[in-house]
Structure 1
Amino acid sequence: ARLKCVTRPPGELKPHQQIDEVRSGGSYISQNDLRIHFGLGKADKVELLEVRWPSGQVDTLKDIKPNQLVFVKEGTGIVRSMQFDRAKRSNPAK
């Protein structure tokens, strides 16, 4: 599947787009990670996530909160999500 992630960082007029593709096996007896990671920077949500499936089906999801793993099923949309705690900045050693 090919995914397009659209965000709009605060104070910016132009949306930021990222595109990635899920690839299954890469070579003999191998498997690629089926997860896609999009970094949102300062954006507070994913405005639009478009999933183009190999069948030709296109699923469009809107207003997805950050810091979570979402599971998307063709023709259904998000079927499950796992929220993560926001990363905390550590204080560097002196």
Structure 2
Amino acid sequence: MQNTILLTIPIDDFLGLIDERLSIALCNFQPTTLVSQPEKPITIDRVCELLGKSKVTVHKWKREGRLPYHRISNKVYFYESEVLAALKPIRRRAA
């Protein structure tokens, strides 16, 4: 069983103690995960530049399902992380 001590202190002193403890806790706080910014979509021109391939090849890989893409209205966009992740299996097939 815990020992309990009851004290009568002025409310301003009590609030000061809480403020002090919170300040110490916030100074020692280290987040465990970083909040990342959402990834922006890239155009086919950027994909061609990343892969060193022509638009024809990128469109072919897109049609074949080798490259994931997203359609917004009548435009096609890619996410760099998805393109690079999809590229690894393509390189293994060619080897």
**Normalising by the residue count of structure 2, what TM-score does the alignment of the two structures yield?**
0.21
Q: Judging by fraction of residues, say which structure has more strand.
A: 1
Q: Judging by fraction of residues, say which structure has more helix.
A: 2
Of structures 1 and 2, the larger Rg is shown by 2
